[in-house]
Chain A
Amino acid sequence: MRVPLTSRPVLLFVVAALVTWALAWALLGAETQLEVLALFCVTVAVAVVAAKMKLDAPVAAAASSHPRALGIACVVGVLALAVVFHEDHFPLLLLCSVLLYITACLGLNIQFGYVGIVNFAGAAFFGIGSYTAAMLAGHTGLPHVLVLLLGGAMASLISCVLLLPVLRTRGHYAALVTIAFATLFRSFLEVNDALGGPQGMRIPALNLFGWDLGADHEWGELFISFYDNYVLFALALAVLAFVLVRRLERSWMGVAMDAVRTDEISAKVYGISIARQKIVAFMFGNLLVGIAGATYGMMTGYVAPNNFTFADSLILVSMLLLGGLGNPWGIVPAAALILILPEKLQFIQEYRFLLYGVVIILILLFRSQGLLPRGIRRYFPNREAARG
């Protein structure tokens, strides 16, 4: 049923969106650790009060009866953050990183969440995107749109090499293939001089059809950080990836992939090609990871092996698990929390891997469905909501 626009749930949804935005704004802008801690307490308090007053269910109901509202709210929220922080490089850099990691995680979600292959080399494929972009943008005159696409294509292509063993194996054997590849890739980068060895290499800034994303804008008094360019681009990329992944899930292919994950024998007996689903999921997923990696490299202007370690791959997997495996919406808060908190809490920074480890262990033990568990597939929720 469609909830009228002025109803209580809708008002609640708007309030919830505003509060969330305000928290995100305060977190990104916080300058001292005390502020962050205070914010953390406020967030917990808000969550507890909302739960006590049983406000969470109507908000969720409003969000699901206006399926597009959540997406629009997020886009508007990010744009508003880009406006508010237009002078500050650092919060914008964080925002971009979150958006690009969301894009990469959406790719991994197809593999892990839908078809059920865990990719323990996510950071390696992210790195393949970055390194491809570095080589192509640094040494050729290819238009940068192509450079990004080729970065993704390269990750997708190299994942093809891994496919044969992944297709022929299951469970732990398949996990070893990606773990071995992650280790191999890192080791390869360290020793390969053509790719800059342990020091890595520089990448020119992204330039799309004459739009130099690496340039600040100054109009009189008004200064706009170049990261705002990247926020716009990364946002567009994340939205595109989100829509594609959602469409994939809400289609026959989504059913086929879920069938493969939950029971390969039944899937086979009902005519679903296991190999095909896995190939599509692996290549499509790594395409997204690679494009995100290429963009990330061009934004930071620099690639080095240290950014693509096995631990980084584990962090990508952690984001999926924390958010709720298979639910693309879960990735959004998970990526934001995992990336922003350690940057803002310097004393956490040093302990961040330790904390991630503990948090994921607790999640696996006590809430294996994550923050936002995946629900039942709804194919055309907009349509259904409208029809009632």
Chain B
Amino acid sequence: MSLDIFSQYLINCLMLGMIYAMVAVGFTLFFGVLDIIQFSHGDVLMVGGFTALVTYAGAQALGVANPWLQLALMVLIATALTAGLGVLVARYLVLPLKNAPPLNTLLITLMMGMVLREGVRLAYPNGSNPQPFPRLLPGGVWSVGGFEARIDSTILLLVGLALITGLHLLITRSKLGLAIRAVAQDGETARIMGINFNWIVLLTFGIGSGMAALGGVMNGLYYTEINFGVGLLLGVIGFAAAILGGLGNLYGAILGGFLFAALQTVGAVVLPMLSQHIPSSYKDVFAFAVVIALIAWRPTGLIAEKSTERA
């Protein structure tokens, strides 16, 4: 394999991993504070992408032509609205079921995901088909030796890394992060110590969902299109990544995201080289099969576990 093709695969793999990780950290944060799965999280990401798209159309209509300004508006509005959506989901669907079986929360958010998906499909003009997403980042290619990469991909990659690092610092270093970790450790005790439990939960959902919106915008910029169904697959993958890493574990989720992307890349590149009977379109089949096998091998994830779900 030549170096430029290798670099393409590498960048693509990292890019996918980044987006997956951004979804997975949401799953893991929500599980941390409430021990639940917010399955509509992938679709929240999709809503973030579409909100950005609508913002772009609005900016065009208002005559805002500078791509950086457009991008800033898209990011701001999409993040804010999507964070709001996440808070609403937590407030009206997740928190009311706090004392019901955990499966009910999974089910209700699964259904919420379907509602969001269908809502966007029906409400967006021609929503059943993929929508073009504007190219706002500078095009072109940079290269070092034989290693080539697109400038826009590189920017996205760096921004993504910065975001994940930022989130990590927020959770581990800030006072707010301390409160979130306290609630994750033991909600009851945190409450007794004067932390407003519901407020922290809502805030966590806001942060996680805002992060998903950024993931949605990045996803759109990278593929230059967005589809109402993109959230389902991203949700399943993000969930898988969070579980592979061990639910409730931030590092694990990030690692799980990159691991899944690596599996897909292996499925797309390595397997077809090994056998011509396995075309690269089997990448998802391969990746999910490995995920199932990994869960069979390590039922509570690769890194750490939260004791509540021990077998």
Touch between chains A and B, by CB atoms below 8 Å: yes
Partner-B contacts on A (CB < 8 A):
118, 120, 162, 164-165, 168-173, 175-177, 179-181, 183-184, 187-188, 190-191, 310-311, 314, 317-318, 321, 350-351, 353-354, 356-358, 360-361, 364-365, 368
- The smallest C-beta distance from B67 to any residue of chain A, in angstroms, reads 35
- Number of A-B contacts defined by CB within 8 Å: 126
- The smallest C-beta distance from A284 to any residue of chain B, in angstroms, reads 21
The 10 lowest CB-CB distance pairs between A and B, nearest first, are: A354-B118, A357-B115, A184-B288, A165-B296, A357-B114, A191-B281, A168-B299, A187-B284, A357-B111, A169-B299
Whether B288 pairs with A165 at a CB distance below 8 angstroms is no
Smallest CB gap from B300: residue in A = A173
Give the complex CA separation of A314 and B107 in angstroms: 9
Q: A172-B37, A176-B243, A183-B284 given as contacts; is B100 within 8 A of A368 (CB)? A: yes
B72 at the interface (CB under 8 A from A): no
The stretch that binds A, out of B162-170, B174-182, B231-239, is B231-239
Q: A191-B279, A357-B111, A358-B115 given as contacts; is B104 within 8 A of A183 (CB)? A: no
B291 at the interface (CB under 8 A from A): yes
Whether B107 pairs with A317 at a CB distance below 8 angstroms is yes
Determine the chain B residues whose CB is within 8 A of the CB of A364 once the complex forms. 97, 100, 104, 107-108, 111
- The smallest C-beta distance from B138 to any residue of chain A, in angstroms, reads 35
Whether B115 pairs with A321 at a CB distance below 8 angstroms is no
Contact of A184 among B103, B289, B309 (CB under 8 A): B289
Whether B284 pairs with A179 at a CB distance below 8 angstroms is no
Determine the chain A residues whose CB is within 8 A of the CB of B233 once the complex forms. 183
Give the complex CA separation of A314 and B301 in angstroms: 25
Determine the chain A residues whose CB is within 8 A of the CB of B108 once the complex forms. 360-361, 364-365
Whether B285 pairs with A180 at a CB distance below 8 angstroms is no
Give the complex CA separation of A63 and B279 in angstroms: 58
- The smallest C-beta distance from A153 to any residue of chain B, in angstroms, reads 21
- The smallest C-beta distance from A298 to any residue of chain B, in angstroms, reads 26
Q: A170-B309, A172-B106, A368-B100 given as contacts; is B292 within 8 A of A181 (CB)? A: yes
Residues in B75-93 with C-beta less than 8 Å from chain A: 93
Whether B102 pairs with A171 at a CB distance below 8 angstroms is yes
Q: A169-B295, A173-B295 given as contacts; is B240 within 8 A of A180 (CB)? A: yes
Partner-A contacts on B (CB < 8 A):
31, 37, 93, 96-97, 100, 102-104, 106-108, 110-112, 114-115, 117-119, 122, 232-233, 236, 239-240, 243, 247, 279, 281-282, 284-285, 288-289, 291-293, 295-296, 299-301, 309-311
Which of B96, B119, B247, B292 has the most C-beta atoms of chain A within 10 angstroms of its own C-beta? B292
Give the complex CA separation of A364 and B31 in angstroms: 20
Contact of B112 among A173, A177, A357 (CB under 8 A): A357
Give the complex CA separation of A351 and B123 in angstroms: 11
- The smallest C-beta distance from B239 to any residue of chain A, in angstroms, reads 6
Smallest CB gap from B37: residue in A = A172
Whether B243 pairs with A173 at a CB distance below 8 angstroms is yes
Smallest CB gap from B288: residue in A = A184
Smallest CB gap from B107: residue in A = A364
Determine the chain B residues whose CB is within 8 A of the CB of A171 once the complex forms. 102-103, 309
Determine the chain A residues whose CB is within 8 A of the CB of B310 once the complex forms. 170
Determine the chain B residues whose CB is within 8 A of the CB of A357 once the complex forms. 111-112, 114-115, 118
Determine the chain B residues whose CB is within 8 A of the CB of A311 once the complex forms. 114
Whether B309 pairs with A172 at a CB distance below 8 angstroms is yes
Smallest CB gap from A360: residue in B = B111
Contact of A162 among B282, B292, B311 (CB under 8 A): B292
- The smallest C-beta distance from A219 to any residue of chain B, in angstroms, reads 46
Determine the chain B residues whose CB is within 8 A of the CB of A179 once the complex forms. 236, 239
Contact of B292 among A165, A172, A358 (CB under 8 A): A165
Give the complex CA separation of A306 and B102 in angstroms: 30
Determine the chain B residues whose CB is within 8 A of the CB of A353 once the complex forms. 114, 117-118
- The smallest C-beta distance from B109 to any residue of chain A, in angstroms, reads 9
Query: 10 A-B Cβ contacts within 8 A?
Result: A168-B295, A170-B309, A173-B309, A176-B243, A176-B291, A183-B284, A354-B118, A357-B112, A361-B115, A365-B93
Give the complex CA separation of A180 and B96 in angstroms: 28
Smallest CB gap from B280: residue in A = A191
Give the complex CA separation of A162 and B300 in angstroms: 16
Whether B103 pairs with A175 at a CB distance below 8 angstroms is yes
Contact of B240 among A176, A365, A368 (CB under 8 A): A176
- The smallest C-beta distance from B128 to any residue of chain A, in angstroms, reads 10
Q: A172-B247, A357-B115 given as contacts; is B122 within 8 A of A165 (CB)? A: no
Determine the chain B residues whose CB is within 8 A of the CB of A168 once the complex forms. 295-296, 299, 311
Give the complex CA separation of A126 and B111 in angstroms: 21
Give the complex CA separation of A188 and B37 in angstroms: 26
Whether A187 pairs with B285 at a CB distance below 8 angstroms is yes
Whether B122 pairs with A350 at a CB distance below 8 angstroms is yes
Whether B288 pairs with A183 at a CB distance below 8 angstroms is yes
Whether B122 pairs with A354 at a CB distance below 8 angstroms is yes
Determine the chain A residues whose CB is within 8 A of the CB of B31 once the complex forms. 172
Give the complex CA separation of A172 and B279 in angstroms: 32
Whether B104 pairs with A368 at a CB distance below 8 angstroms is yes
Whether A172 pairs with B243 at a CB distance below 8 angstroms is yes
Give the complex CA separation of A361 and B110 in angstroms: 9
Give the complex CA separation of A180 and B310 in angstroms: 20
Determine the chain A residues whose CB is within 8 A of the CB of B301 once the complex forms. 173
Smallest CB gap from B239: residue in A = A176
Which of A118, A321, A354 has the most C-beta atoms of chain B within 10 angstroms of its own C-beta? A354
Whether B309 pairs with A164 at a CB distance below 8 angstroms is no
Determine the chain B residues whose CB is within 8 A of the CB of A170 once the complex forms. 309-311
Whether B118 pairs with A361 at a CB distance below 8 angstroms is no
Whether B119 pairs with A354 at a CB distance below 8 angstroms is yes
Determine the chain B residues whose CB is within 8 A of the CB of A188 once the complex forms. 282, 285
- The smallest C-beta distance from A35 to any residue of chain B, in angstroms, reads 25
Whether A361 pairs with B106 at a CB distance below 8 angstroms is no
- The smallest C-beta distance from A59 to any residue of chain B, in angstroms, reads 30
Determine the chain A residues whose CB is within 8 A of the CB of B232 once the complex forms. 310
Give the complex CA separation of A119 and B300 in angstroms: 19
Q: A118-B103, A310-B232 given as contacts; is B97 within 8 A of A365 (CB)? A: yes
Determine the chain A residues whose CB is within 8 A of the CB of B236 once the complex forms. 179-180, 183, 310
Which of A172, A175, A350, A351 has the most C-beta atoms of chain B within 10 angstroms of its own C-beta? A172
